[in-house]
Amino acid sequence: MRNGLILGFFDGVHIAHQAVISSAVNYAENPVLITFKDSPAKFFHKKCEYIYPRRKSVEKIKSLGVKEVIEFDFEQIAGMRAEDYLEYLVKVFRPVSISTGFNHTFGKNKGGNPELLEACSKKYGYKYFCVEPQTFEGSVVSSTLIKNYLKEGKIETANTLLGSRFSLEGEVVHGAEIGRTIGFPTANLNYPSEIVRMPYGVYAGLAEGRHAVINWGMKPTVHNTKEPVAEVHIINYEGNLYGKTLEVEILKKIRDERKFNSLEELKAQINKDTEECLKL
């Protein structure tokens, strides 16, 4: 089997990641992506926040033509010398090609890099693909860049660079059900703890195949929450979602979250938000 190895963490599987994956898919019969169960940053006790849950990133990777995704435990290989790690990969997978991004590093003290992979290609008998940086408005496309756009509420730009939609996923939990009393029932989600956080505000999205208005924040008008919550109003949806896992794709930030003087004012604004959402 002609294995093409793809190396990297691939959080979000954005357009630059997709270019790396394509180099292997277009060359090798059996593209295999080698990654980690968790971000290597965790090993170094750094704060980790993801664009997608790992399960979703793996699904997206496979949708691009990768036959197998292998997730190593970073802690078990963190101390390996770079060439020892490379030799291990070659021995186990016998690759005809190896693909990475231009800034990929591996091995103890980040001793492995594109230069080493190129230098060892003849010795180990593989073709090396080093994918050049992809840029957007003068910036190199990266998971960090996309996270910054998400933190700024620039959802449309983030989605462009992802090549798919940013989303939130979680179990629907019970809330105060005030939305139901003003004609806008909501499904409440606890924002996943390891997913990058958008700024508080009202967003247009999609859920259950329908347009949805999402309020993410502290619900200042009703004063009944100590922790932020994502309230999802699925337009013209009838059904019970309690206890079910709901995925909400985020399309655009409509406005900032703000306090209204009454529930009637809030209702009027939600009507406007709904109209804005339906335009997308």
How would DSSP label each residue in 60-91? HHHHTT-SEEEEE-HHHHTTS-HHHHHHHHHH
Contact 126, 4 (CB under 8 A): no
Domain ranges across the chain: 3-140, 165-278
Contacts of 55 (CB under 8 A, 6+ apart): none
Catalytic residue among 231, 265, 275, 276: 231
pLDDT for 207-221, tens place per residue? 999 999 999 999 888
φ, ψ (nearest 5 deg) of residue 34: -100, 120
Strands 139-140 and 210-217: unpaired
pLDDT for 110-137, tens place per residue? 999 999 999 999 999 999 999 999 999 9
pLDDT value of position 124 = 98
pLDDT value of position 6 = 98
Q: Residue 70 pLDDT > 90, yes or no?
A: yes
Q: Residue 259 pLDDT > 80, yes or no?
A: yes
At the topology level, CATH places domain 165-278 in Elongation Factor Tu (Ef-tu); domain 3 (2.40.30)
- The reply to whether 165-278 shares the fold of 3-140 is no
At the topology level, CATH places domain 3-140 in Rossmann fold (3.40.50)
pTM of the model: 0.94
Examine the residue annotation and report whether 152 is marked as an active-site residue of this protein: no
Q: Residue 36 pLDDT > 60, yes or no?
A: yes
Contacts of 81 (CB under 8 A, 6+ apart): 107, 108, 111
